[in-house]
Amino acid sequence: MKRNIGYEQVVSGQSNRGEIPSLHEAFAKDFPIGAAVSPAILDSTGSLIARHYNSLTAENDMKPIELQPEENVFTFEKADQIVRFAKEHNMRLRGHTLVWHNQTPDWMFEGQNGEPADRELLLARMKLHIDTVVGRYRGDVYCWDVVNEAIQDKEENLLRQSRWLELAGEEYIQKAFEYAHAADPNALLFYNDYHETVPTKREKIYKLVKDLLDRGTPIHGIGLQAHWNIYEPSIEDIRIAIERYASLGLQLHITELDLPMFGNDDKRREVMTPTEEMIEKQAKQYEQIFELFRSYKDVITNVTFWGAADDYTWLDYFPGKERKTWPFLFNDQHEPKPCFWGVVAK
Ligand code: GLA
């Protein structure tokens, strides 16, 4: 297949090439291709998802606040709907996420009278949550993002100053992996984080995971969230991060890929349709990124987008930055964009 992107495609997102190939089938020899979803998205976008993706992640519905909003009150309905869809369509399912500083209910960190929970109570609650959730989806969920975003971004500290750290100490991370492994010894267990190609953060992630491995923690992979954009990071920086993490001998999953059409410092709000230049830049960036991923298919064992098509993405609702961002391979009408053709072309 040729890689040229005709202007008519740029404008309409259409192709003259006849039948649209399935995205995940184009990567059948490489890695599963995933999408983050909710039951509502499965209703509105299910046929696109069933055809083009063969792995799912719950965008929100397996997070602690959704699964255990009150102590010992577990609400599995929405997560179960996603599990059912995955089974019906023979898809893999990534579990996301067990221990995080965000979207976790306050009661988890509080004692009877609202005072901070002590270490023992907090770890007992963590264990109960992990046992219940991982146990319920044993055999359905093949890997878990056990701990999400535990690292401090800028400061000197390795770890984020979260309530987990404050109340349970740094050992909470290792404990989470041990509890998850006990609850499902067959599940692959991941540490997942963002800004994973930025050198300072990259080295912190490397250090955290290396320390866990040195202590014999059951951890099998690193999740690279990959909330990038059409300008950065550079392919070289992505390659360096892949090499560095892979040197630990672990699997890598790309867990939350999206390439919005605005750079980090682009404050424009008036762009209501993507320009030709943005569309072409996105196509080029996606093409190079997937070429790189494919060349590391021995270590990259899942590539998941944080959504399915441009009509819904969390990025469009980012507080203070609300605007259309068009980050995926499919447009608002669920048709393939120029970036889709660049990615499936071999
Ligand atoms: C992080 C989390 C995801 C999601 C995104 C934003 O990347 O890991 O679960 O909340 O932020 O939507």
Of 172-176, 316-320, 328-332, which range is least confident? 316-320
Q: Which residue among 149, 196, 280, 287 is the active-site one?
A: 149
Ligand 1 centroid–CA 195 distance in Å is 12
Which atom, in ligand 1's list, is nearest to the CA of 148?
Answer: 8
Ligand 1 centroid–CA 17 distance in Å is 36
Residue nearest to atom 12 of ligand 1 (CA): 314
| HEC profile of the chain | CCCCCCHHHHHHCCCCCCCCCCHHHHCCCCCCEEEEECHHHHHHHHHHHHHHCCEEEECCCCCHHHHCCECCECCCHHHHHHHHHHHHCCCEEEEEEEECCCCCCHHHHECCCCCECCHHHHHHHHHHHHHHHHHHCECCECEEEEEECCECCCCCCCECCCHHHHHHCCCHHHHHHHHHHHHCCCCEEEEEECCCCCHHHHHHHHHHHHHHHHCCCCCCEEEECCECCCCCCCHHHHHHHHHHHHCCCCEEEEEEEECCCCCCCCCCCCCCCCCHHHHHHHHHHHHHHHHHHHHCCCCEEEEEECCCCCCCCHHHHCCCCCCCCCCCCECCCCCECHHHHHHHCC
Given this model, what pLDDT does residue 321 score?
87
Ligand 1 centroid–CA 152 distance in Å is 16
Which atom, in ligand 1's list, is nearest to the CA of 227?
Answer: 7
Given this model, what pLDDT does residue 18 score?
65
Which atom, in ligand 1's list, is nearest to the CA of 256?
Answer: 7
Residue 15 has pLDDT above 80, yes or no: no
Mutate which of 102, 256, 313, 315 for ligand 1 pocket (most atoms within 8 A of beta carbon): 256
Mutate which of 306, 313, 322 for ligand 1 pocket (most atoms within 8 A of beta carbon): 306
199-229 pLDDT per residue, tens: 999 999 999 999 999 999 999 999 999 999 9
Provide mean pLDDT across the span 116-129.
98
Q: Note the residue count of the chain.
A: 346
Would you call 155 a catalytic residue per the annotation?
Answer: no
Measured CA to CA, the distance from residue 253 to residue 31 in angstroms comes to 9
Q: Sorting pLDDT into bands at 50, 70 and 90, what band is 125?
A: very high
Q: Tokens 């349970």 label which residue?
A: 168
Residue nearest to atom 6 of ligand 1 (CA): 314
Letter for the amino acid at 201? K
Ligand 1 centroid–CA 41 distance in Å is 16
Residue nearest to atom 4 of ligand 1 (CA): 59
Given this model, what pLDDT does residue 25 score?
98
Q: Tokens 């490397």 label which residue?
A: 206
Ligand 1 centroid–CA 62 distance in Å is 12
Given a contact cutoff of 8 angstroms between Cβ atoms, the answer to whether 287 and 339 are in contact is: yes
Cα–Cα–Cα angle for 10, 296, 220, nearest 5°?
A: 120
**Residue 31 corresponds to which tokens in the numbers above?**
């890695």
Write out residues with Cβ below 6 Å of ligand 1: 96, 148, 194, 225, 256, 314
**CA distances for 101 relative to 149, 290, 313, 332, angstroms:** 8, 31, 22, 32
**Residue 127 corresponds to which tokens in the numbers above?**
């264990």
Residue 239 has pLDDT above 70, yes or no: yes
Measured CA to CA, the distance from residue 267 to residue 137 in angstroms comes to 42
Residue nearest to atom 8 of ligand 1 (CA): 148
Measured CA to CA, the distance from residue 65 to residue 3 in angstroms comes to 44
Sign of the C-alpha dihedral, residues 11, 17, 21, 27?
negative
Measured CA to CA, the distance from residue 59 to residue 226 in angstroms comes to 15
Ligand 1 centroid–CA 166 distance in Å is 22
Given this model, what pLDDT does residue 2 score?
36
Residue nearest to atom 2 of ligand 1 (CA): 148
State what percent of residues in the chain have pLDDT above 70: 95
Given a contact cutoff of 8 angstroms between Cβ atoms, the answer to whether 337 and 12 are in contact is: no
Given this model, what pLDDT does residue 110 score?
98
Q: Which residue among 59, 178, 196, 256 is the active-site one?
A: 256
Would you call 322 a catalytic residue per the annotation?
Answer: no
First to last CA, the chain: 6
Measured CA to CA, the distance from residue 192 to residue 297 in angstroms comes to 19
Given a contact cutoff of 8 angstroms between Cβ atoms, the answer to whether 183 and 128 are in contact is: no
Measured CA to CA, the distance from residue 337 to residue 346 in angstroms comes to 17
Ligand 1 centroid–CA 72 distance in Å is 25
Given this model, what pLDDT does residue 17 score?
52
Q: Sorting pLDDT into bands at 50, 70 and 90, what band is 156?
A: confident
